[in-house]
A and B are shown apart, each in its own frame.
Chain A
Amino acid sequence: MGGHGDLAGGEAAAGREPAARGVTRRGLLGALGVGVGGLAVGAAAGYAAADAAEPATASEPPVGSVPAPGSMVEPYLGAHQAGIATPLQAHATLVALDLREGVDRAALVRLMRLLTDDLARLTQGRPALADPQPELAAVPARLTVTAGVGMGLLEAAGRAELAPGWLRDGLPAFAVDQLEPSWSGGDLVLQVAAEDPVTVSHAVRVLLTDAEPFATVRWLQSGFHRPANTAPSGITGRNLFGQVDGTENPRPGTEDFDQVVWVPPGTSPWLAGGSAMVVRRIAMDLRVWGGLDVATKEASIGRRLADGAPLTGGTERTPPDFAAVDADGFPVIPATSHIRLAHLQAQAERILRRPYNYDDGVRRDGSAEAGLLFVAFMADPSAQFVPIQQRLAEADVLNLWTTPIGSALFAVLPGVAPGEHLGHALLA
């Protein structure tokens, strides 16, 4: 599944390269005390098996030299906020807030001051000021907090005139949407992600405590991937339909990535170095999907389920051959398949997908409350996201089993420099 659209999500859209600090898969495995030779226990078993072809050697660094995954930190300072180019963490909670009546620019400065101080401490493994549970801050686990603002915040700040057109206009209605207000919109969003769900929970609690005088929670959504120490190597992650995804994301650290993701200096100086964030809650009918035959599933996506290779052959990384036809003259990758529709029609139509799976239990009728928390970043949604999504909304056969029920659009603030707070250029 290599497209760019709504369902183009999955476990590892932003890449699953070993995280900073030179931690290798082998090192992680060692740090967890899991032997490759057959003593692997529980969730680590799949990982060990996947690595069995390259047995451990004596040249490995001793376990003690490898930082435990929980101690790993992501930087929070820089031109861009963390949590975008950051390798995808295993757990995330996104929370959208509505500003309280009367919250003005001065109040927003105070709010941003508190949130910035919180994330500066928590992401580095230190308790927040007045942290109700400081002992929970000791495991940063690559925690990142990414803040974005909606049109409502700009209006509250008296800065509506500074909004780029895509934020002012919002996303258009798509034919497949069945949006619920309780999963849509918001004045402010916080994406809180880490390898450890306890770390995420604690950070969300601290941030919401500080936000409480200023805002109420509009929606909160949590999602997950396989953690790095259980994910099989060699294949990009999978969503709850089993589809391999994330193949065509731009690679962090490349000029390509920078052009796709970051708002350039120019039209909106307060947003330069920031991004646009699209959040879509896509319900997936796991029960009906589960009853489909493999050929139908693969035709809907245009890739093989087993290894993610396009139906025209090769491996996951092989470009799909959209011109190929079968013996009867039909396209091998069907016209209504996800990857054909999502395939860029123009170079501008590229986005960074950083989605999470969600599973919130089972409804009374036995159907799963599950799906994809689609999160994507791009410099300009009207040029990069909307055209793809419109094609998908009109014809994607996956629409039979997937329904967007939430949608929100935010301007991701630029990164913070030492001594600054988030949004300082907007609120100054």
Chain B
Amino acid sequence: MPARRLPLVAAALLLATAVGPVSGCAGSTPATSTTSVAGTAAAGCPVSVTDPWVKATDTQMTGVFGTITADEAIVVTGASSSVAGRAEIHEVVQADGAAVMRPKAGGLTIPAGGSAILAPGGDHIMLMALSAPIQPGDEVPVTLACSDGSTAAFTAVAKPFEGGAESYVPAEGSMGEMASPGASPAA
């Protein structure tokens, strides 16, 4: 079936990101997220992302999880995605006996050789104003912004997931307009 050859290869390339660790940080050039070689980052944003996934949702918000490992000390200050109108780095804290999430002031500070773990109930990347539902098995592109202005791109696979039932507390004056605190449809 020669006619099917090309899409087949394309699919295979896309999928490489779903299985292996994803590395990428090449200044303003999004790393080809097909490479799964860790530690090939260019100077400035030496991070690799392993086990990235995103919670499938039909709401307008969701969380991205995984492990960000840095070769050198770095601060991840923000994130973006072509499927989201806005993305932020969030943390989950206890407030009045309940878990609430809010923007993480200062971003993720990762020491050289260290990792930041993004997990339900903890730090995570919040995708907001989603342009469409994220369906189970979708591959969602995410780009990290690092403190020196460089970026690192990776792809997160969407998983059906019940959990992460935190309520959302917008930062003072920044996101009061968020109409859909739907990050936790299971709540």
Bound complex: CA of A418 vs CA of B15, how far in Å?
9
- When distances are taken between beta carbons in the complex, the residues of chain B under 8 Å from A269 are 1
Q: List 12 A-B contacts (CB under 8 A).
A: A110-B136, A130-B53, A130-B55, A130-B160, A213-B56, A270-B1, A419-B15, A419-B16, A419-B19, A420-B12, A424-B15, A425-B4
Report if A428-B159 is in contact (Cβ < 8 Å); known contacts: A113-B137, A114-B136: no
Q: Is the CB of A214 within 8 A of B12?
A: no
**Looking at chain B's contact residues, is the secondary structure mostly helix, strand, loop, or mixed?**
mixed
- When distances are taken between beta carbons in the complex, the residues of chain B under 8 Å from A109 are 11, 137
Q: Is the CB of B159 within 8 A of A113?
A: no
Q: Which residue of A lies closest to B119 (CB)?
A: A130
Q: Is the CB of A130 within 8 A of B8?
A: no
Residue A129 is within 8 A (CB to CB) of chain B in the complex? yes
Per-residue 0/1 for A242-279: is the Cβ within 8 Å of any B Cβ (1 yes, 0 no)? 00000000000000000000000000011000000000
Q: Is the CB of A117 within 8 A of B19?
A: yes
Per-residue 0/1 for B43-74: is the Cβ within 8 Å of any A Cβ (1 yes, 0 no)? 00000000101011000000001000000000
Q: Is the CB of A130 within 8 A of B159?
A: yes
Those 9 A-B pairs whose CB atoms lie nearest each other, nearest first = A110-B137, A428-B8, A419-B16, A130-B159, A129-B53, A213-B136, A130-B161, A419-B12, A428-B4
- Of B4, B65, B135, B163, which contacts A110 at CB under 8 A? B135
- When distances are taken between beta carbons in the complex, the residues of chain B under 8 Å from A117 are 18-19, 157
- Which of A114, A130, A213, A270 counts the most chain B CB atoms within 10 A? A130
- Of B15, B65, B138, which contacts A421 at CB under 8 A? B15
Bound complex: CA of A233 vs CA of B7, how far in Å?
50
- Of A116, A212, A417, A424, which contacts B160 at CB under 8 A? A212
Q: Is the CB of A114 within 8 A of B8?
A: no
Bound complex: CA of A386 vs CA of B54, how far in Å?
46
Residue A111 is within 8 A (CB to CB) of chain B in the complex? yes
Interchain nearest-CB distance for B170 vs A (Å): 26
Report if A424-B12 is in contact (Cβ < 8 Å); known contacts: A114-B159, A130-B159, A210-B160: yes
Per-residue 0/1 for A85-123: is the Cβ within 8 Å of any B Cβ (1 yes, 0 no)? 000000000000000000000010111011011001000
- When distances are taken between beta carbons in the complex, the residues of chain A under 8 Å from B8 are 424-425, 428
Bound complex: CA of A124 vs CA of B158, how far in Å?
21
Residue B13 is within 8 A (CB to CB) of chain A in the complex? yes
Q: Which residue of A lies closest to B138 (CB)?
A: A110
Bound complex: CA of A116 vs CA of B16, how far in Å?
12
Report if A214-B16 is in contact (Cβ < 8 Å); known contacts: A129-B51, A129-B157, A425-B8: no
- Of B13, B18, B160, which contacts A113 at CB under 8 A? B18
Interchain nearest-CB distance for A419 vs B (Å): 4
| 8 Å CB interface, B143-159 against A | 157-159
- Of B4, B13, B160, which contacts A209 at CB under 8 A? B160
- When distances are taken between beta carbons in the complex, the residues of chain B under 8 Å from A129 are 51, 53, 157, 159
Q: Which residues of B contact A (CB under 8 A)?
A: 1, 4, 7-8, 11-13, 15-16, 18-19, 51, 53, 55-56, 65, 120, 135-139, 157-161, 163
- When distances are taken between beta carbons in the complex, the residues of chain A under 8 Å from B163 are 132
Per-residue 0/1 for A409-428: is the Cβ within 8 Å of any B Cβ (1 yes, 0 no)? 00000000111110011001
Interface residues on A, range: 20 to 34
- Of A120, A210, A417, A424, which contacts B136 at CB under 8 A? A210
- When distances are taken between beta carbons in the complex, the residues of chain A under 8 Å from B158 are 110
- When distances are taken between beta carbons in the complex, the residues of chain B under 8 Å from A113 are 15, 18, 137, 139, 157
Q: Which residue of A lies closest to B156 (CB)?
A: A129
Bound complex: CA of A405 vs CA of B11, how far in Å?
40
> Beyond A419-B16, A424-B11: 13 further Cβ-contacts under 8 Å?
A113-B15, A113-B139, A113-B157, A114-B136, A114-B159, A117-B19, A117-B157, A129-B159, A130-B160, A214-B136, A420-B11, A425-B1, A428-B7
Q: Is the CB of A114 within 8 A of B15?
A: no
Bound complex: CA of A116 vs CA of B137, how far in Å?
11
- When distances are taken between beta carbons in the complex, the residues of chain B under 8 Å from A120 are 19
Interchain nearest-CB distance for B20 vs A (Å): 8
- When distances are taken between beta carbons in the complex, the residues of chain A under 8 Å from B15 are 113, 116, 419-421, 424
Q: Which residue of A lies closest to B18 (CB)?
A: A117
Q: Is the CB of B157 within 8 A of A114?
A: yes
Interchain nearest-CB distance for B49 vs A (Å): 12
Interchain nearest-CB distance for A240 vs B (Å): 37
Q: Is the CB of B160 within 8 A of A418?
A: no
- When distances are taken between beta carbons in the complex, the residues of chain A under 8 Å from B55 are 130
- Which of A120, A129, A210 counts the most chain B CB atoms within 10 A? A129
Bound complex: CA of A117 vs CA of B20, how far in Å?
9
Q: Is the CB of A418 within 8 A of B19?
A: yes
Bound complex: CA of A132 vs CA of B15, how far in Å?
23
Bound complex: CA of A129 vs CA of B138, how far in Å?
14
- When distances are taken between beta carbons in the complex, the residues of chain A under 8 Å from B4 are 425, 428
Bound complex: CA of A111 vs CA of B4, how far in Å?
20
Per-residue 0/1 for A122-153: is the Cβ within 8 Å of any B Cβ (1 yes, 0 no)? 00000001101000000000000000000000
